[in-house]
C-alpha cells in the first residue's frame, strides 16, 4: 500500500511537501530535503526531522527491532548510522495493553462490575455507527495508537492509514491490524498477570506511518475520512492542526473528532466551534461520553469525551 500511495503522490515529504523518491525498497527521500525516510519492521517513518527522530528514539526503535526482526541490510544501516544504546535507563514505553481500543477488547479483561456499563458502547463504536452504510475510499486516523479505531475504519474504507508518533506503538499496530487474533495480557492488582487471545477480523487494508500530526506528510484533498482521536488536547495549536486536516480532506469528506473537552489549559478549544461551523456541515455529536482506558501502570482511568462528526463543505 505504501509504495502505491507514494507513486500516486498522496504520501509526501514531511519536511517540504514534495513527492518522495525511492532510493531503496525500504528508503525514501525528496529532492529538496536532507531527510531520509526508512521503512523499519514494516513501519514507514515520516517525521519532519527524521534524522533527529531516528537518533533520539533509539530505545523505542531498538525495542521494536528486537521484537519484530528486520532484514540485516536495514539493521546495519540504522545501527551504523545512529549507534547503539548507551544509556542503562529504559524509558516508559508500555503505554497500553495490547488490543485496547479494538472491538471486543473489554470482554477479554477483568474489570469491576460497576465499570461494565462504561465499556458497553465506546466512542469508536458510536462514531462508526454514525458512518454506517458509507463506502469510502481512503481514510486516515491521526494519533492512532495501536490501531483500534483503524480496525473500525477498515470495514468502511477501501484503505486506511494511521499516523502515530511513537515508533513502537506504530509497529505494534502494523502487527495487530492484519492479524486474526491479539494476545491480551494485563495485570490484575493483587492477583497477577492474566492473558487471553482476542479474535478479530484481519484488516489487511490498513497501514500505520510513524510521523507527527504537526507536519502531515500527505497531499491536499487526498482523504475521504479523517479521524482525530485523543490528541487535540495534547497539541499546542489544535486550530492549526485542524486547518491542515481540512486541507487534506476532499470536499464532502468526513471529519470525526474524539477528545476530552474539559482540560486544564484555559482557552485551548475556544476557536474550534467556529472553525467547524464555518468549514463543515455537522452531522452528529455527543458530549460527556464516558470511556475507560489503562494507563502505563495498568490502572483504569475514566475519561469523558466530546465526539463530533461533520462533512467538509
Query: Long-range contacts made by residues 27-35, C-beta under 8 angstroms, separation at least 24?
Result: 27/77
2: exposed, middle or buried (Cβ count in 10 Å: 0-12, 13-18, 19+):
middle
Say yes or no to pLDDT of 38 above 90: yes
Instruction: Say yes or no to pLDDT of 240 above 70.
Output: yes
C-alpha 20/C-alpha 211 separation (Å) is 15
C-alpha to C-alpha distance for 146 and 144, rounded to whole angstroms: 6
Cell numbers linked to 185: 495480557
Question: Could you give the CA distance from residue 144 to residue 176 in angstroms, rounded to a whole number?
Answer: 13
* Mean pLDDT value across residues 44-57: 93
What is the model's pLDDT at position 186?
Answer: 73
Please answer whether residues 208 and 177 qualify as being in contact, where contact means their C-beta atoms are separated by less than 8 angstroms.
yes
Question: Which neighbouring-strand residues pair with 192?
Answer: 188
pLDDT at 139 over 70: yes
pLDDT for residue 22 is more than 60: yes
Task: For each of the domains in the chain, give its residue range(s) and CATH number, in order of start.
Answer: 2-82 (no CATH), 105-312 (3.40.50.150)
Coil, helix or strand for 91? Answer: coil
Q: Which of 140, 269, 266 is nearest to 207 (CA)?
A: 140
User: pTM of this prediction?
Assistant: 0.93
Q: Which helix (H) or strand (E) holds 78?
A: helix 72-82
Residue 278 corresponds to which cell in the numbers above? 464555518
What is the rounded average pLDDT for all residues in the chain?
Answer: 90
CA dihedral over 197, 203, 207, 213, signed as positive or negative: negative
Give the HSE-up count for residue 215: Cα atoms under 13 Å, Cβ half-sphere.
17
Amino acid at each position: 500500500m505504501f509504495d502505491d500511495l507514494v507513486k500516486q503522490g498522496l504520501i509526501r515529504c514531511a519536511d517540504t511537501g514534495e513527492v518522495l523518491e525511492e532510493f531503496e525498497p525500504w528508503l525514501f527521500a525528496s529532492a529538496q530535503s536532507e531527510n531520509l525516510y526508512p521503512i523499519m519492521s514494516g513501519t514507514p517513518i515520516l517525521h519532519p526531522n527524521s534524522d533527529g527522530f531516528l537518533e533520539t528514539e533509539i530505545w523505542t526503535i531498538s525495542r521494536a527491532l528486537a521484537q519484530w526482526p528486520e532484514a540485516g541490510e536495514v539493521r546495519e544501516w540504522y545501527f551504523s548510522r545512529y549507534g547503539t544504546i548507551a544509556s542503562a535507563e529504559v524509558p516508559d514505553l508500555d503505554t497500553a495493553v495490547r488490543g485496547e481500543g479494538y472491538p471486543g477488547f473489554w470482554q477479554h479483561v477483568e474489570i469491576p462490575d460497576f465499570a461494565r456499563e462504561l465499556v458497553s458502547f465506546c466512542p469508536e463504536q458510536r462514531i462508526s455507527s454514525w458512518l454506517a452504510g458509507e463506502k469510502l475510499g481512503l481514510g486516515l486516523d491521526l494519533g492512532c495508537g495501536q490501531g483500534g479505531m483503524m480496525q473500525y475504519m477498515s470495514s468502511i474504507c477501501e484503505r486506511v492509514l494511521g499516523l502515530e508518533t511513537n515508533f513502537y506503538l506504530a509497529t505494534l499496530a502494523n502487527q495487530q491490524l492484519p492479524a486474526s487474533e491479539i494476545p491480551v495480557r494485563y495485570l490484575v492488582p493483587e492477583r497477577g498477570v492474566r492473558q487471553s487471545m482476542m479474535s478479530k477480523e484481519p484488516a489487511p487494508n490498513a497501514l500505520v506511518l510513524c510521523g507527527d500530526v504537526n507536519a502531515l506528510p500527505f497531499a491536499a484533498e487526498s482523504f475521504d475520512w479523517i479521524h482525530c482521536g485523543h490528541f487535540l488536547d495534547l497539541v499546542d495549536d489544535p486550530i492549526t492542526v485542524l486547518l491542515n486536516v481540512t486541507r487534506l480532506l476532499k470536499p464532502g469528506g468526513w471529519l470525526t473528532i474524539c477528545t476530552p473537552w474539559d482540560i486544564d489549559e484555559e482557552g485551548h478549544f475556544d476557536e474550534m466551534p467556529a472553525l467547524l461551523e464555518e468549514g463543515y456541515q455537522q452531522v452528529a455529536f455527543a458530549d460527556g461520553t464516558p470511556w475507560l482506558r489503562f494507563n502505563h501502570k495498568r490502572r483504569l482511568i475514566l475519561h469523558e469525551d466530546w465526539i463530533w462528526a461533520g462533512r467538509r463543505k
